[in-house]
Amino acid sequence: MKKIGLIIKREFSTRVRKKSFIILTLLGPILMAAVMFLPAYLASLPTDDRVITVLDESLLLDFEKGKDEIRLRYLPPDKFDFASAQAFSEAQGDYAFMHIPLSEGGDPDFVARNVRLFRAGDISVSVESYLENTLEKYLQKEKLKATGVDPEIIARTKTKVNLRVINTDEGLETENATLIKMGIGYVAAFAIYIFIFLYGSQVMRGVIEEKTSRVIEIMVSSVRPFEMMSGKIIGIGLVAMLQFTIWIGLGSLFYVIAVSLFIDPQLAANNLPNAAANISLPNDGLLSIYSSLQSIDFFGIIASFIFYFIFGYLLYAALFAAVGSAVDKESDSQQFMLPISLPLILGLLVIIRALDNPDGDIAFWFSMIPLTSPLVMMARLPFGVAPWELILSMLILLISFVLLTWFASKIYRIGILMYGKKPTFTELLRWARYKN
């Protein structure tokens, strides 16, 4: 046991002292913050105005001005014909030219069929759909007028509905917080996925390094291969925990700073009434979100997260170590990586389904299969999972962790001393059957 302690210490301290670790640890949250805030920032930037020249011979559009970045410039039909209007549009360097022809008998369908948009080059999808919507709106008005219905009445009868969903299943009647739950589930599952991949491959690389530097033979004459493998896995796991903790700490710090610097002033200024109107929450909107959050069992989720985080990593790390032991160089590891990465990626795909239908069959079974359960169960948990399901899933994960680690260590102890030809899967299985 003392030897495992020494190995853990070495694995931990050599990694934590590396420059790359320090840089990545400090830079990670900045990068993550950038990933989170950059899209919002970019979306808030003003885009180039796009001017569409319109020759509206039917006077259909009623000189509609356009919207934010799409402006419509009308040419008087009595002074321009199609050719001169198009030439004018090109001379002005306008984005596109739209021609709405005159309909003989005022037939809106004729206009709909014959309206055309010209541009030298491809047209932006947003412009195209905006124009189509606008045309449809005005053509509808024309048709209503033709049948004698006042469009004003139609406009007044339009009603917007915000469905208030109540979840009766959670004891107290709370407002539905599906989006928040999906967010929590997704982030938790994704964090485990990243963690396993990032640090599992570090375990693999560490084993390959010991093989290529040939230090392994010295090591195994002092410690048992199993001690080496577990020492390495635990040591790297601790590095990961440290990094993760620092990330969460720094990340929340950055978040608080960013929110107070950029978002709060915006909300406080002119945007607030506007924003509230847009979201159109009921008056007690924020309060209801707050009470919805209270319905989520955060303690249970965090405790389960730590469990799945640790055992998911341990389960996969043992497999990564076995793969590392089987090859001499990293480029040879691809073939053996596939059976490890496949269930992880599959888990990630199933999450999407599980978030949409957390109690469905697919979500249930994949949260039981140990190779995917750390991801899928985390996605399900915020929606509430029956205790027996959670306990069963954890139990299966624990048992498989023990069995897989035992199996992986059997391959590992042979693999680390094998050099030369890259083994096949059958050979790996044969190694596992070797006696010591």
Q: Which of 116, 137, 329, 430 binds other proteins (CB under 8 A)?
A: 430
The bridge status of strand 166-167 relative to strand 174-175 is: antiparallel
Which span sits near other proteins by CB under 8 A: 148-156, 214-222, 367-375, 381-389?
214-222
Q: Which of 215, 253, 306, 399 binds other proteins (CB under 8 A)?
A: 215
Q: Which residue number, 23 or 399, has a Cβ lying nearer to other proteins?
A: 23
Q: What's the min distance (Å) between Cβ of 429 and other proteins?
A: 12
Residue 137 lies near other proteins (rule: CB under 8 A): no
Q: Which residue number, 90 or 209, has a Cβ lying nearer to other proteins?
A: 209
Residue 109 lies near other proteins (rule: CB under 8 A): no
Q: Which residue number, 57 or 227, has a Cβ lying nearer to other proteins?
A: 227
291 in Cβ contact with 178 (< 8 Å): no
Ranges within 44-83 binding other proteins (CB under 8 A): none
Residue 425 lies near other proteins (rule: CB under 8 A): no
Q: What's the min distance (Å) between Cβ of 202 and other proteins?
A: 14
Q: Which of 257, 259, 386, 417 binds other proteins (CB under 8 A)?
A: 417
Q: Which of 157, 214, 269, 277 binds other proteins (CB under 8 A)?
A: 214
Structural element, H or E, at residue 389 = helix 387-415
Residue 436 lies near other proteins (rule: CB under 8 A): yes
Cα-Cα-Cα-Cα torsion 228, 232, 233, 235, nearest 10 degrees, comes to 130
Is the sign of the CA dihedral 109, 113, 119, 122 positive or negative? positive
Is the sign of the CA dihedral 233, 235, 238, 243 positive or negative? negative
Residue 219 lies near other proteins (rule: CB under 8 A): yes
Q: Which of 14, 133, 140, 334 binds other proteins (CB under 8 A)?
A: 14
User: From residue 220 to residue 259, what is the string marking binding to other proteins with x (rule CB under 8 A)?
Assistant: xxxx------------------------------------
CA-nearest of 355, 426, 48 to 185 is: 355
Give the whole-angstrom CA distance, residue 85 versus residue 74: 10
SS3 56: strand
Q: Which residue number, 3 or 113, has a Cβ lying nearer to other proteins?
A: 3
CB atoms < 10 A from the CB of 345, how many?
13
116 in Cβ contact with 72 (< 8 Å): no
Q: What's the min distance (Å) between Cβ of 210 and other proteins?
A: 8
Q: Which residue number, 216 or 234, has a Cβ lying nearer to other proteins?
A: 216
Residue 6 lies near other proteins (rule: CB under 8 A): yes
CA-nearest of 307, 308, 321, 341 to 231 is: 321
Residue 218 lies near other proteins (rule: CB under 8 A): yes
Long-range own/partner contacts, residues 130-136 (CB < 8 A, 24 or more apart)? 130/67, 130/70, 131/52, 131/70, 131/98, 134/61, 134/64, 135/60, 135/61, 135/100
Q: What's the min distance (Å) between Cβ of 227 and other proteins?
A: 10
Q: Which residue number, 53 or 409, has a Cβ lying nearer to other proteins?
A: 409
CA-nearest of 70, 62, 165, 166 to 117 is: 70
Residue 10 DSSP label = H
Residue 20 lies near other proteins (rule: CB under 8 A): no
Q: Which residue number, 41 or 419, has a Cβ lying nearer to other proteins?
A: 419
Q: What's the min distance (Å) between Cβ of 205 and other proteins?
A: 12
Residue 360 DSSP label = S
SS3 72: strand
Ranges within 183-212 binding other proteins (CB under 8 A): 209-210
Which span sits near other proteins by CB under 8 A: 128-136, 166-174, 217-225, 311-319?
217-225
Q: Which of 44, 168, 213, 331 binds other proteins (CB under 8 A)?
A: 213
CA angle 203, 225, 416 (to 5 degrees): 65
User: From residue 149 to residue 188, what is the string marking binding to other proteins with x (rule CB under 8 A)?
Assistant: ----------------------------------------
Q: Which of 19, 158, 421, 435 binds other proteins (CB under 8 A)?
A: 435
Longest dimension (CA), the chain: 98
Tell me, by CB under 8 A, how many residues bind other proteins. Answer: 25
Residue 23 lies near other proteins (rule: CB under 8 A): no
3-state secondary structure 289-357: HHHHHHCCCHHHHHHHHHHHHHHHHHHHHHHHHHHHHHCCCHHHHHHHHHHHHHHHHHHHHHHHHHHHC
Residue 10 lies near other proteins (rule: CB under 8 A): yes
> Which residues would be at the binding site for other proteins (CB under 8 A)?
2-3, 6-7, 10, 14, 209-210, 213-223, 417, 419, 430, 434-436
